[in-house]
Amino acid sequence: MTDFTQFPPSFTWGVATSAFQIEGAWNLDGKGPSIWDTFTHTPGKIIDGTTGDVACDHYHRYPEDVAIMAGLGVDAYRFSMAWSRVQPQGKGAWNEAGWDFYDRLLKELESKRIDAHITLFHWDLPQGLQDEGGWLNRDTAYHFAEYAAEVARRFGNRVKTIATHNEPWCTANLGYGNAQFAPGVADLKQSVQVSHHLVLSHGLAMSAMRKVGSTAQLGIVLNQWTADPATDSAADKAAAEFEYSRSVEWFMDPIFKGKYPELALKVYGDNGPVVQDGDLAIAHQKIDFLGVNYYFRSFCSTETPPRQPEFKLGKTDMGWEIYPDGLTELLLKLNATYELPPIYITENGMANPDSLVNGEIPDTARIDFVQRHLKALNDARLQGVNIQGYFLWSLLDNFEWNSGYAKRFGIVHVDYQTQKRTPKHSALWYRDYLIQQRARNSANAA
């Protein structure tokens, strides 16, 4: 694909990571254990039997990683903080050594003029809170708000944005719905209740951070997709409507409309959440930005076995259909349904079976993937969706949750034995793409 899509000069270009996937140093300098430390140390939970104990050793190698970002020419870096690094039990005493790490990381980014975009929670709940019920315990939402306020108090004037959650759908449905992710529970009723506590915690954290008075833009990051029926059958259409309701609308409606979607509530029935008076008013408050993570669409079939899409553009190493049109469709649908703040595409990328070839990593499939999704993104922007930036997932190959180190999403290859970083062809392409963007914008302004 050779299309070159032009974005405005104000558009933010970034890369993204998450704490547990890259930091390592799982028990150093006073850090407490998280549910993912516990999960990965439990035999049989991770496909390749690995842990995040070292991961990419970003805790020690962050100067090198920030230098790589600077070399790519990105404007921004989106990363998450490990809650148990700064508050080992998830409540009570703060760990100053943990805060010092993030202070050093921010200073490194500031020295390279790279904006920081922080995510407060990317699935790694402190084990101390899990021991008291985790997200199933309503109190966790209030502890989260206290943590959010402290981050905003310390760093809120040094970062561009703060997102409360990354993909709460995954926390609820993969952590509590099918036991694929930590803490490893498979119970529909619990997963639905957890999702409500996550929504509540978002609202509580927004209020707590606003009281601190930081200058950061505040929002949330949601993984979203269109849901398409596999056929024109009534059953497939109904399955698609419910899938969209239980995934996209389930989190968007409380935040933007102050209620849960009727279809999902009806289907859940007795498995619906316990909602206390005032909860949805807490969730339903203005946010400064919405982060959208897009990887694939949902293709809904009620046949046995389920009918598969045509995979016209192939699939990623995760087995996910490559479907860039779904990004345009999703953004236009959201824009027509909700009164949206500015949007960042906070994650988009692909797992690819990359390998070194004469010291290089020719990941042409990833370049094609990103190009197609940037065109799809711009198509939505040109049709009126207020999109302010794009963060490529991920900067580094890293610990890919229950897949361990078997799946590589990075534009920078990591040799996990030596920790050597090698930019892939996609990283070099991204660098050159940003150079072209800026050159054309400068020429147009002249």
Residues with catalytic roles:
167, 347
Beta-bridge partners for 5:
none
Interaxial angle between packed helices 325-337 and 364-382, expressed in degrees from 0 to 180 and rounded to the nearest 10: 30
Look at residues 364, 366, 358 and name the one whose alpha carbon lies nearest to residue 407: 366
The Cα–Cα gap between 81 and 121 comes to: 7
DSSP string for residues in 185-242 = ---HHHHHHHHHHHHHHHHHHHHHHHHHT--SEEEEEEE---EEESSS-HHHHHHHHH
The Cα–Cα gap between 348 and 295 comes to: 6
The Cα–Cα gap between 357 and 25 comes to: 31
Name residue, tokens 């408050």: 285
The Cα–Cα gap between 223 and 168 comes to: 8
b or e along 345-370 (b: 16 or more beta carbons within 10 Å of the residue's beta carbon)? bbbbbbbbebeeeeeebebebbbbbb
Are the C-beta atoms of residues 123 and 171 closer than 8 Å to each other? yes
Look at residues 322, 426, 312, 399 and name the one whose alpha carbon lies nearest to residue 19: 399
Alpha-helical runs (H) found in 3-95: 19-22, 35-40, 58-72, 83-86
Name residue, tokens 């409606």: 253
Look at residues 425, 405, 428 and name the one whose alpha carbon lies nearest to residue 415: 405
Look at residues 330, 381, 371 and name the one whose alpha carbon lies nearest to residue 350: 371
Are the C-beta atoms of residues 96 and 134 closer than 8 Å to each other? no
Are the C-beta atoms of residues 187 and 176 closer than 8 Å to each other? yes
The Cα–Cα gap between 25 and 50 comes to: 15
